[in-house]
Chain A
């Protein structure tokens, strides 16, 4: 079910994009999170856990023997279940959330409680011999950046899909392109129109002038002509 390239392009792209075909018959794309961003997330979580331990010890030492028991049980719970609690409730620990990544099942659904427990129990092996050396090695030799815990639990760590406002292509009077365009050429024009305003002026000109043979124009005029073509593709006449 896993396709290697998102849209079946002729040239396989070297990318960390993973496509999964869902039961509804469409492909969903996930952007996999690599070792570096995950290490950063882990460091943030480690710092946060340190703070929790500190507060726990400071408060509970006032309570004598029972307080000691609460410290020990607290250490047990934080050591083993800190990530589980956050992953089940929102898919990401505070560290992962800060880095904009989250844990999902490898079928794209939210991480299940049992999978979360498995991947976090196996952390202890991924950590061996020190600082997640085993986990790192495992992540580097499989396609989906999975550490042992992810392999056993069937989970993935991916980038959170941030909600962006959609860029609309600049409005222009539609004008029919002088030649018949293939689908991928049309798509290229649309992409240019949607992203053009984000590029620098010079780069925009440079790109538009690649088609100088077709438009016979230069500079802003060439850009605007391409916008007009894009508008024609979108609306028709």
Chain B
């Protein structure tokens, strides 16, 4: 068959497909063609592909091939797009997808926890026992600020921890910007053979542990611990989960197994993303608790009880939510 005959026979079909694709590109509510017409698209698309293959195979003119190619290109991206259902997916993710993903990553989680908790405990103990140790890690001005804001003397004067509700909102914004940012960086820097993630975990562990030890040594425990214990449940757990996600990237680069590095990286990133997004949601909750609950001046005993409940809730959520009777291990 000659090119011109081929074109004459099929041009109307190509125009039809182009019109249909214009219509399909509109949002679902605004399409003009009736549903049965829309449903013809896959069949039309396959026909289009075979015309394109024919045109290429028979050496028809480049301009015709290009015209068909751009039609196929549009059709391909229309047919294979993902759309809709995100509310349901989000709910599903929170209720079961995320805790399951964390349990699937328990090894990475354990390693991440180790690199965070061990330095925190050691540095905490060190700073509790020895006065100067904190200055090896944090500069004097920051330490002075920390001491100032948790000093019980200041608190009695009503100056420090009690804040206006406007400040609460500001701090909420700040915690989101800062903490979720740290979470994302903890994940992303895992691609540097995992070293970036481990460094961030280690550093944060040292600083957090060191400051806690230092303030406890100064006898500020009644102001410090009630403040941090509540949101710590969500915040610290989420950072460790981001660490686990980063270690997955590192694993793909170091030990891709029976895959190419790029393939392993893609698979691990897909899995790690669930951890990061879930952790970001947890950090959002933590920011909320930290800004509006932790800053309230209430009896430490009440704060500790709520904190204990929050810790139990986080642990139970991660261990139990979305568990089926026979969860694949």
Contact = CB atoms under 8 A, between A and B. Distances in A.
Q: Which label, helix, strand, loop or mixed, suits the secondary structure of the A interface?
A: helix
A180 B271 CA distance: 59
A186 B184 CA distance: 57
A131 B122 CA distance: 37
B61 A191 contact: yes
Contacts of A236: 2, 4-5
Contacts of B164: 65
A20 to B, nearest CB: 9
Contacts of B2: 233-236
Interface size class of B (residues with CB under 8 A): 35 or more
Contact of B169 (A69, A114, A117, A194): A69
Interface in A171-220: 183-184, 186-187, 190-191, 193-194
Nearest to A168: B63
Interface stretch (B102-110, B173-181, B203-211): B173-181
Contact of B181 (A64, A76, A110, A233): A76
Contacts of B77: 104, 108-110
B56 interface: yes
A112 B82 contact: yes
A191 B53 contact: no
Interface string A147-163: 01001111000000101
A37 interface: no
A72 B176 contact: yes
Nearest to B272: A118
A137 interface: no
Given A29-B69, A166-B64, A122 B191 contact: yes
A10 to B, nearest CB: 15
A79 B76 CA distance: 32
B4 A187 contact: no
A186 B82 CA distance: 42
Contacts of B277: 117
A113 B84 CA distance: 11
A190 B118 CA distance: 73
Contacts of A166: 63-64, 66-67
A68 interface: yes
A26 B53 contact: yes
Contacts of B215: none
Interface string B256-289: 0000001001100110010011000000000000
Contacts of B50: 24
A153 B4 CA distance: 43
A194 B64 CA distance: 10
A194 B62 contact: yes
Interface string B148-186: 000000000000000011111111111011001100110
B59 interface: yes
A52 interface: no
Given A68-B170, A71-B173, 8 more contacts: A76-B176, A117-B273, A122-B188, A124-B189, A125-B196, A187-B61, A234-B3, A236-B2
11 contacts: A28-B69, A29-B69, A69-B171, A76-B180, A121-B187, A124-B184, A161-B74, A163-B70, A166-B67, A187-B62, A233-B3
